[in-house]
């Protein structure tokens, strides 16, 4: 049996299939979609409890909003969540593969918190703590949406794959680095203008972009601060691995290859040691020769 004959290397079989999502990116999309549905069903209560309000800085017991706001979106404009989730799907999968499932989830959530912090500080400096305390709840500035975290993902993607060709605004082809620069310049312009009629949280976008740049520049590894068993869990069927023809593939080699492929799935290809890379390449060459 060759390396590419294993169950987990097979593509999907022809026909219509319904299966649970296997990537953290798709799991985040589904979780965000489910939160949006709950928001639709109980909008006033959900938004009052979980949207990010500028006064949390003077009421720190509401700091949880720095995380929950990113799973809510505008119920007036359904395009808000559709565009955000499309962009997350487009760029998140490769970032997840590049850094590993666990690290990607932590990076995404941290980007959400950092972008919310940047937005909150900008509002605090603009309004002032005393005015925030005295402001009626219905007049408090608020923000919902995953745009800040997604901007962090896009910035990190642009730094990892700067020459990748993308369709800016889904129409104009250009390299990824240029599309990212145009997006950041647009957010800077919006943040400076501070148009009261504009409902875009430009400072949250800029906070996410800054976080993505710093993460890449300093090569941070955020998941190392978390317990080893931390992961985004969703029940899913795990196919059983079958090893055939033991005379052609020793059991110890099969076990080592399974562990290497599992490590790539969980932590990304850059997590492999030199010996693991060498073993994978050696096995691949051997199996390719057998297939001829």
Over residues 74-85, the pLDDT tens digits come to 999 999 999 999
Spatial CB neighbours of 155, under 8 Å, sequence gap ≥ 6 = 180, 184, 208, 209, 211, 212, 213, 216
Over residues 176-234, the pLDDT tens digits come to 999 999 999 999 999 998 887 788 999 999 999 999 999 999 999 998 877 766 555 55
User: Is 24-225 a CATH 1.40.20.10 domain?
Assistant: no
Bridge-based pairing of strands 165-168 and 52-53 is unpaired
In a 10 Å sphere around its CB, with 0-12 CB exposed, 13-18 middle and 19+ buried, how is residue 179 labelled? buried
Over residues 99-146, the pLDDT tens digits come to 999 999 999 999 999 999 999 999 988 888 888 788 887 778 899 999
* pLDDT (0 to 100) of residue 10: 47
Three-point CA angle 67, 149, 61, nearest 5°: 20
pTM of the model: 0.74
**In the chain, which residues fall in CATH 1.20.1540.10?**
24-225
């Amino acid at each position: 049996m060759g390396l590419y004959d294993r169950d987990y290397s097979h593509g999907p079989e022809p026909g219509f299939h319904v299966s649970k999502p296997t990537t953290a990116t798709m799991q985040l999309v589904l979780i965000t979609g489910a939160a949006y549905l709950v928001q639709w069903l109980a909008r006033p209560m959900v938004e009052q409890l979980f949207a990010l309000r500028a006064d949390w800085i003077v009421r720190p017991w509401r700091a949880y909003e720095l995380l929950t706001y990113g799973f809510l979106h505008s119920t007036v404009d359904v395009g808000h969540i559709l565009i955000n989730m499309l962009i997350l799907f487009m760029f998140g999968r490769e970032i997840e593969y590049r850094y590993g499932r666990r690290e990607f989830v932590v990076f995404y959530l941290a980007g959400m918190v950092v972008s919310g912090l940047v937005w909150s500080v900008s509002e605090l400096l603009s309004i002032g703590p005393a005015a925030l305390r005295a402001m009626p709840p219905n007049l408090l500035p608020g923000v919902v949406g995953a745009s800040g975290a997604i901007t962090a993902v896009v910035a990190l993607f642009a730094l990892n794959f700067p020459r990748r060709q993308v369709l800016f605004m889904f129409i104009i082809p250009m390299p990824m680095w240029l599309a990212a620069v145009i997006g950041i310049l647009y957010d800077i312009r919006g943040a400076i203008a501070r148009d009261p009629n504009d409902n875009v949280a430009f400072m949250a976008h800029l906070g996410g972009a800054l976080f993505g740049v710093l993460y890449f520049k300093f090569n941070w590894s955020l998941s190392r601060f978390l317990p080893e068993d931390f992961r985004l869990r969703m029940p899913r069927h795990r196919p059983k691995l079958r090893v055939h023809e033991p005379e052609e593939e020793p059991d110890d080699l099969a076990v080592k290859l399974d562990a290497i492929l599992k490590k790539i799935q969980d932590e990304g290809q850059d997590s492999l040691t030199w010996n693991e890379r060498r073993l994978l390449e050696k096995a691949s060459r051997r199996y390719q020769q057998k297939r001829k």
